[in-house]
A and B are shown apart, each in its own frame.
Chain A
């Protein structure tokens, strides 16, 4: 796949300082991006009982870019994503969408803003068909009656637009699909809605090599169309092959929000494992 020829946005000179300083930045990134981020979450706290999972976590995502969200197991990546998708309520924190403060108190709020999450477990109903899953919770209807034909047509077009040809029929029950095909359906569902932000939670974790490549290509394709893509991944090769920005979480805190071009592989690994970067020279 060709990821080298993509257009990088204008350089952002201030952006490097965060990681290089080697200090946890917490909720207030010290650099100002040139444009308002599409989605900007700050100061997110979240506890499960006595365990505080997120401490003032922050994440900014920009249109047309892939932002990789990295961190070790238990760093709070999935929790942060679920908070901004309205699936888990956050204890504290602000969400700015296009600079406006918004409230996300349920999956529907997130959907209305155009935030779509492709969950690690895909969150599909095995007993429903591909088309039924893609429109779940947002069924199209004419009067009282479901408009099946319209939904099937749109579902097929969305899959086709992502060059997903392996599903065969949109009437197949999702239970009969293989892992990679389910992933494709989940991604196609996320972009069916004129969504602005698409979050992919460890999309390549359970996939074979060839299909993982396809998914990464799809992520790039979405960003090139002007969507903001958040990619959660453990795989540094994946991160560096598609991400424009990298946000690192360490024990529930955001320790870096940097451009991918400004950090090295080793530095990111350091951020993930220790939450800091040893200053280079």
Chain B
């Protein structure tokens, strides 16, 4: 279609819509109206990423004040990123499950089982890393399929199914690793995920590709909406979004590209290999949830399963698939965690792992009630959780305090979610 006919069509549509009372879709938004709209949304309980960003700022300020020497040191910042990797990946999988209003309490220990499978294959069976990693991922898929089948076909509440697996899977890890045992992970590729850095140039290239890609997608959408006579974000907002992302990505790359070695004779710099992996996962999940039919159906089932069923959506399959995605990403998270710890122990993925991941998803803005949440919630929430974990470590907090605080943070995040939901219901959003 030529540009001319396109334009004519757009004008025609615009004329039709103007007649029809859908002027709101065409109203030319300015930066001012966009800001007012945003504030109205926040006030009516649609908080988006606001709690996570405010929380991150507050925590960074707090720990900088309490530990000015260590917290913002180059080494610790890199450490923080690496700490956030496994929890972010696990939270990403949980976002899918939470979107349906379900829960996967076994995600943490599932990552432990998968990591144990990988470690045993490398160390005891002498398999190459790709076989071991593939086996771990398949294990994750099998666990997810089992949960999904029990929840969607047998119709046991997911809470009960995954609570049972929470115990059962820990048993499997214990059987694989042995009581009190440790399986060291020394495979170069696996260890590199969380412990080695990309060459400086590759870090910058990937960062630039990331920023350019985001800018291209945003600008293209902006242009397309204009062309079709539909109002979109004002250009100022689009530009601001691109700028914020560019500053965050390029700033992060810069910090990680500085030499952060403790001793001057040593050279330690570059972006850890796990970071682009997480970035890629977030991009893929954002695409799947936001731009594909599958993602739309996940939101629909989470919003109103019966309505989705009547619209011809295969609700059983959607329900099953989110658990498969959740456990698959849990497997990946287990691999990264094993890489970071250089070993697999029977308690890998147990203790606070799951609580951290659920906390990350909820702090990021994913609702426990289903139907609301985005992939980047896991990233923002993961950073918040890693900051808490990291900061408490620097403060030398005792184990009991650590547990108490983590529990309180999860409760706090869930309260915000519940209160925001009530607020939305009250204001009719």
> Is the C-beta of A274 less than 8 angstroms from some C-beta in chain B?
no
Chain B residues closer than 8 Å to A165, beta-carbon distance: 20-21
Q: Is the CB of B312 within 8 A of A106?
A: yes
Q: Is the CB of A156 within 8 A of B20?
A: yes
> Is the C-beta of B399 less than 8 angstroms from some C-beta in chain A?
no
> Smallest Cβ distance from B219 to chain A, in angstroms?
15
Q: Is the CB of A171 within 8 A of B304?
A: no
> Smallest Cβ distance from B420 to chain A, in angstroms?
13
> Smallest Cβ distance from B226 to chain A, in angstroms?
10
Q: Mark B283-297, 1 if CB is under 8 A from A, else 0.
A: 000000001110011
Q: Mark B301-337, 1 if CB is under 8 A from A, else 0.
A: 0111011111111000000000000000000000000
> Is the C-beta of A3 less than 8 angstroms from some C-beta in chain B?
no
A124 to B306, CA, bound (A): 9
- Give A165's nearest chain B residue, CB to CB: B21
Chain B residues closer than 8 Å to A128, beta-carbon distance: 296, 299-300, 303
> Smallest Cβ distance from A133 to chain B, in angstroms?
8
Q: Is the CB of A152 within 8 A of B25?
A: yes
- Give B292's nearest chain A residue, CB to CB: A144
Q: Which of B11-19, B105-113, B344-352 contacts A (4 or more CB under 8 A)?
A: B11-19
Q: Is the CB of B313 within 8 A of A166?
A: no
> Is the C-beta of B424 less than 8 angstroms from some C-beta in chain A?
yes
> Is the C-beta of B38 less than 8 angstroms from some C-beta in chain A?
no
Which A92-113 residues have C-beta < 8 A from chain B?
Answer: 106-108, 111
Partner of B22, one of A170, A176, A178: A170
Chain A residues closer than 8 Å to B16, beta-carbon distance: 156-157, 160
Q: Is the CB of A107 within 8 A of B312?
A: yes
Q: Is the CB of B312 within 8 A of A168?
A: no
> Smallest Cβ distance from A50 to chain B, in angstroms?
22
Size category of the A interface is: 35 or more
A125 to B305, CA, bound (A): 8
Chain A residues closer than 8 Å to B424, beta-carbon distance: 175
> Is the C-beta of A225 less than 8 angstroms from some C-beta in chain B?
no
A167 to B25, CA, bound (A): 11
- Give A153's nearest chain B residue, CB to CB: B13
> Is the C-beta of A205 less than 8 angstroms from some C-beta in chain B?
no
Chain B residues closer than 8 Å to A153, beta-carbon distance: 13, 17, 228, 230
> Is the C-beta of B398 less than 8 angstroms from some C-beta in chain A?
no
Q: Mark A160-196, 1 if CB is under 8 A from B, else 0.
A: 1000011111110101101000000000000000000
- Give A144's nearest chain B residue, CB to CB: B292
> Smallest Cβ distance from A146 to chain B, in angstroms?
6
Q: Take A106-B312, A125-B371, A139-B293 as given contacts and tell me if A160 and B428 are in contact as well, using a CB distance cutoff of 8 Å.
A: no
> Is the C-beta of B175 less than 8 angstroms from some C-beta in chain A?
no
A111 to B310, CA, bound (A): 10
Residues on B lying within 8 angstroms of A by beta carbon are: 13, 16-17, 19-22, 24-25, 224-225, 228, 230, 291-293, 296-297, 299-300, 302-304, 306-313, 371-372, 424, 428-429
Residues on A lying within 8 angstroms of B by beta carbon are: 85, 87, 106-108, 111, 117, 119, 122-128, 132, 136-139, 141, 144-146, 149, 152-153, 156-157, 159-160, 165-171, 173, 175-176, 178
Task: Taking A136-B300, A137-B308, A168-B22 as given, write out 13 further A-B residue pairs in contact, using a Cβ cutoff of 8 Å, ordered by the A residue number.
Answer: A107-B311, A123-B310, A126-B371, A127-B302, A132-B296, A136-B296, A153-B13, A156-B20, A166-B21, A168-B24, A169-B22, A170-B25, A175-B424
